[in-house]
Amino acid sequence: MRADEEVGVAVSRRGLLRWTGAAVVAGGAVAAGGAPAGAGPGRWARLRAHLGGELLLPGDAGYDTARLPFNSLFDHHRPAAIARCVRPEDVQRCLAEARRGRLRVAARGGGHSYAAYSTPHDGLVVDLAPMNDVELRPDGTAVIGAGARLGDVYAALAAAGRCLPLGNCPSVGIAGLTLGGGLGWVDRAFGLTCDWLRAARVVTTDSRLITVSEDREPDLFWALRGGGGGNLGVVTSFEFATAPVPEVLTVFRMRFPAGSAADVLGAWQPWSAAVPDHLSSTCVVLPDGSVDLTGCSLGPEALLLGELAHLGVAGPLEHAEVDYPTATAIMTQGHPPRNAFRASSRIADGMWDDPAAVADTVRGKDSALLIVGALGGAIDRLGPTDTAYPHRGAPTSVEVFGTVGDLPPEQVTREVDDAQSALARLIGTGTYINYLDPEQDDWAETGYRHNLRRLRAVARRYDPDGVLRFPQSVR
């Protein structure tokens, strides 16, 4: 794969803001699982008879399309059944059947689970996609069905003159994004998606439908904000506070040539941590050491240009002022294609000692590249134990991403794993739980950190029988 193709993959996969105002892809995951599956035709007939939506079995029309995960590396996964849920009662019935027969079960919103945990090989998929309504109340509260995808959420909010910090990929589901925390393109200005959550409707593993908030089931509400998808119950809808849309945004892009990564990263990280909260930015570092720096500033272009003057490195700059509805309309044009990939992440404990070594983690590789995002700002207005998301105070996130393409999948896996292991030694061992990596042995301790013990206690309380299990479930 050529370097320019790798840039295109990164842009279409992780949401790098183009100078036109477009923001394209980010990852999020709704994942769940259970005990070994086993289901006879009688069980499926009983479930089908009680569902408001349809139940798809192998051989049914639509099954082969519905079963496909976003990551085509896992296209061999064939669930035993897919329940297309249209109401909370459908979810209740699915969990009752799963509990009765110790059936593997997985909740799926957008289907973007990096390891396809939301589309397991065998078992029952609780597909929430039909539950995708977006309602804006007069007070600005947004009530969003768990099957809604970000493109539809952005469009509905923008039409009402409201905004919410969300991810950059229009096909990612609101559920997985929120439950894992919710990194996105304006998070330094507004915080994480989960920080705006005010209540959620949840079906617990004993098939109760409950509403959780700060004063109703507060432990579960705490866990839903960053504890990862599919761990504690199946959320059927979310209630968010929203903010008025910004009057204007300025988006920008700077490109730096091969071999410049050490200098760019060395200048960018302290700059990105020091700029005002209104400015967010991301660097894509390619194996040849070239860098694509993109970002978004809330406000007019003069405000952005004043901050860029202090960056310390210079490259060709593209920028444009756009209004918020225009920006969201651009970023929701179409969906990124499914593709086969491997990905992992690390979150920095502090400022890097050796930016050249960070860049070298992917130098000369055939597939792996780095997507380096600025954190801080409004994300840190909450403390590291206020929600289950533990990485408040971290300055930087680094995603290692590798597209398979024509390469052997095992080579891409090795390149990504080598890079994330090196980053753990260089910058810190934190990981973003929405970027679940099957090869990462320390994912629980580094994804949840000091919140892991409390999170596991909440999981034991709300799922005492372990109905919701998958290879990287919190239990």
Predicted local confidence at residue 335, as pLDDT? 59
Rounded to whole angstroms, the Cα distance separating 4 from 318 reads 18
Q: Give the pLDDT mean for 70-77.
A: 96
Name the CA radius of gyration of the chain, rounded: 21
- Report CA-CA distances (Å) from 116 to 76, 87, 112: 11, 24, 7
Q: What is the pLDDT of residue 40?
A: 64
Distances (CA, A) of 235 to 7, 87, 125, 127, 415: 35, 11, 14, 12, 35
352-371 pLDDT per residue, tens:
999 999 999 999 999 999 99
pLDDT at 220 over 50: yes
Cβ-Cβ contacts under 8 Å for 278 (sequence gap 6 or more): 188, 189, 297, 298, 299, 303
Q: Residue 160 half-sphere exposure, CB side, CA atoms within 13 Å?
A: 19
Cα(431)–Cα(74) distance, integer angstroms: 22
Name the pLDDT band for 25 (thresholds 50, 70, 90). Answer: very low
Rounded to two decimals, the pTM is 0.91
Q: What confidence tens digit (pLDDT) does each residue in 96-110 have?
A: 999 988 888 999 999
pLDDT at 331 over 60: no
- Over residues 243-279, the pLDDT tens digits come to 999 999 999 999 999 999 999 999 999 999 999 999 9
In sequence order, what are the beta bridge partners of 211? 201
Residue 4: the pLDDT is 36
Q: 293 and 254 in contact (C-beta within 8 Å)? A: yes
Compute the Cα dihedral for 459, 463, 468, 469 and give only its sign.
positive
